[in-house]
Amino acid sequence: MAAALVMSTTVTPKSTPFSLISQSSPHKRLWRKKQGGNIDRRSGYADCASLIQGLSRKKLPVAAERLFLDMKSEGFIPDKSTLSALMLCYASNGLFSKALAAWDEIIDRSFLPDVHVVAELIDICGCKGYLDDAVRILHQITLNMLPDVYAQAISRFGKKGQLELMEVMLKEMVSMGFPVDSATGNAYVIYYSNFGTLSEMEVAYGRLKMSRILIEEEAIRSISLAYIKKEKFYCLGQFVRDVGLCRRNVGNLLWNLLLLSYAANFKMKSLQREFVRMVETGFFPDLNTFNIRALAFSKMSLFWDLHVTLEHMKHEKVVPDLVTYGSVIDAYLDRRLGRNLDFALRKLNKNDCVTVATEPLVFEAMGKGDFHLSSEARVEFSKKKNWTYEELITTYLKKYFRCNQIFWNY
């Protein structure tokens, strides 16, 4: 599933493991003061991970090393969490030879490192160009940890847009004989849709299909958003058809995306035809379905179809939101039919509180109308809570007609 990627890296020579160096007394006082409760005096093990992590956040790796050596000079043996914290402190501050020495000490002592610690170390090594060391670390951990480590490493690289490193981890995972599960496969597609080109995203989706992994809702939304941002609405329609319009575990999402692909291109006959097919197939239109159609009818000034949509919403007992009201108001005001607004809005309850429940993908494709934008700004910056549609409409119309009067006076 993953393509091979060859990268040349330079391995920093390893330093010798931690030799004892006498240090100043302030660190010893810090050790005695703050770590007395984390010492097992019978076994001789001590934990100063929290102190080392605090010094790492402050970019003080030298101070962390002094604290570690002070602990050893007192005769205590660092436990797994302390060595792990010191290793990550070195790695995050660019001291990779010391970080790898700490890793070797963890392995030599037969400690079993935590999955998230290994994943973070691999993440740092990969992003800093030490990919060979990252692969070597993977080969040194136990087999039962590997699937979780690979999954976390793929996730970390993907979230940062490091797609080449993500490919390397996926290739290593497959070469070790571990199957790609649904979560990893879908995440792989999501990261390509977020950070890759459309062609790379389509290749990733093709690999997911070849692996016979079902694409999940989040991945569907991510791919759809990528197509919408590039205004590839025909490709969006082809994609949702390929996924399968009869899937019911994602609700109306696929049908709504298909309708959106036609509405954004104002292909009104196709929009109507596919809506009828949706209902005939047994899917019940929801708020997103109606608002996609209402926005398209509003922009095309198809008043009869807009009224039929409102009647259908009322029949299906679907509660309209700000987008629905905005599509009606913008359609009438754009055609200078403001006097007919009361007739147009009589099917809607203007005393309801304002809500916005429409899918953000709809706004990405169709945009927001003037009434919607104006109302959102007023609600956001006003001290008043629980606005009603009646109040927003009255305020907006006053502003609208005032602007027109000023225009004609000039």
Q: What is the pLDDT of residue 47?
A: 56
Q: What is the pLDDT of residues 157-168, one digit of tens each?
A: 999 898 998 998
Q: What is the pLDDT of residue 209?
A: 93
Q: What is the pLDDT of residues 291-340, one digit of tens each?
A: 999 999 999 999 999 999 999 999 999 999 999 999 999 999 988 888 88
What DSSP element (H or E) covers 121?
helix 115-127
Q: What is the pLDDT of residue 407?
A: 43
**227 and 205 in contact (C-beta within 8 Å)?**
no
Cα maximum dimension of the chain:
92
Q: Which residues pair with 46 in a beta bridge?
A: 39, 78
Inter-axis angle of helices 146-159 and 182-195, to 10 degrees?
20
Residue 381 structure tokens: 């910056």
Q: Which residues pair with 388 in a beta bridge?
A: 353
Q: How confident is the model at residue 12 (pLDDT cuts 50, 70, 90)?
A: very low
CA distance 301 to 375: 21
Exposed, middle or buried by CB within 10 Å (0-12, 13-18, 19+), for 20? Answer: exposed
Q: How confident is the model at residue 148 (pLDDT cuts 50, 70, 90)?
A: confident
CA distance 221 to 253: 9
Q: What is the pLDDT of residue 67?
A: 80
Is the overall model pTM greater than 0.75, yes or no?
Answer: yes
Q: Counting every residue, how long is the chain?
A: 410
Radius of gyration of the chain measured on its C-alpha atoms: 30
Torsion angles phi and psi, residue 388, rounded to 5 = -105, 160
CA atoms 222, 226, 229, 234: torsion sign: negative
Least confident of 22-31, 112-121, 161-170, 380-389: 22-31
Q: What is the pLDDT of residue 1?
A: 45
Percent of the chain with pLDDT over 70: 86
**Other Cβ atoms within 10 Å of 251 Cβ, number:** 14
Is the pLDDT at 217 greater than 90, yes or no?
A: yes
Q: What is the pLDDT of residues 172-202, one digit of tens each?
A: 889 888 889 999 999 999 999 999 999 999 9
Q: What is the pLDDT of residues 105-143, one digit of tens each?
A: 888 887 877 888 888 888 888 888 888 888 888 888 877
CA atoms 393, 395, 400, 402: torsion sign: positive
Q: Where would I find the H helices in 265-369?
A: 268-281, 287-299, 303-315, 322-334, 341-344, 360-366
Provide the mean pLDDT of the chain. 83
Is 358 strand, coil or helix?
coil
Is the pLDDT at 147 greater than 90, yes or no?
A: no
Give me the mean pLDDT over the 81-104 stretch: 85
CA distances from 141 to 106, 145, 150, 154, 186 (A): 11, 7, 11, 17, 26
Q: Which residue carries 């009322």 as its tokens?
A: 314
Q: What is the pLDDT of residue 81?
A: 83
CA distance 125 to 140: 15
